[in-house]
Amino acid sequence: MKIGILALQGAFAEHGKMLDKLNAEHFEIRNRMDLDKGFDGLIIPGGESTVMGKLLRDLDMYDNLKDKVKNGLPVFGTCAGLLLLAGEVCGEPALGFRTMDIMVKRNAYGRQLGSFYAEEEFSGIGKIPMTFIRAPYISHISENVECLARVDGKIVAARQGRQLVTAFHPELSDDLRVHEYFLTMMRGYHNKDLFS
């Protein structure tokens, strides 16, 4: 199993370090040609969703990658990555793939609380550290989306089929469990595909 980490902008290197610790094979997706290398999962990192959305189009990667996600490539989006998967962004156009039935509020915690740390329950994992940096939260989910974690009542992690998103940055902690969750999720689908 090989994971492609979108490496156009933002905190992609940190995801690579987490996957190294989990002995998971990975490579960085930097251009259109990298999309042909073959991979079983995709990580969209934190950064600036507007910049990443523009770069995906400028580098002619948007349609190809969106098709892959729509066709069931397992994907894990953190923070800006979450924004790039959201079907709707409150008050502004959604610039990403819009493959998840969630509505998201961008820069939702305002200037003062733009960055903060919390420890909360993540469904099926337990209490985990959560680092938020000018983070969004999920204001609405459809019934086919599972809420995985909340902070102060707001949804900060969710899953829809093969798509996993967190508003926080698990790659900025030493806790490997969310990445492990993604690997387990990938393996589940991988095996189902093999045996169905």
Binding site for ligand GLN (CB under 6 A): 46-49, 79-80, 83, 106-107, 133-134
Active site residue 169: yes
Nearest-CA neighbor of 128 among 119, 116, 117?
119
Strands 115-122 and 126-133 come out as: antiparallel
Kindly tell me which of 41 and 47 has the beta carbon lying closer to ligand GLN.
Answer: 47
Active-site residue (options: 15, 26, 79, 179): 79
Tokens found for residue 11: 């905190």
Kindly tell me which of 42 and 80 has the beta carbon lying closer to ligand GLN.
Answer: 80
Active site residue 90: no
Q: How far is the CB of 91 from ligand GLN (least distance, A)?
A: 12
Active-site residue (options: 28, 169, 179, 180): 169
Active site residue 147: no
Q: How far is the CB of 182 from ligand GLN (least distance, A)?
A: 17
Q: What are phi and psi of 101, to 5 degrees?
A: -85, 65
Q: How far is the CB of 134 from ligand GLN (least distance, A)?
A: 4
Q: How far is the CB of 191 from ligand GLN (least distance, A)?
A: 31
The Cα-based distances of 165 to 36, 43, 117, 195 in angstroms read: 24, 10, 18, 27
CB burial readout 19-55, b (16+ within 10 A) else e: beeeebebebbeeeebbeeebbbbbbbbbebbebbeb
Active-site residue (options: 146, 171, 179, 180): 171
Q: Tell me the catalytic residues.
A: 79, 169, 171
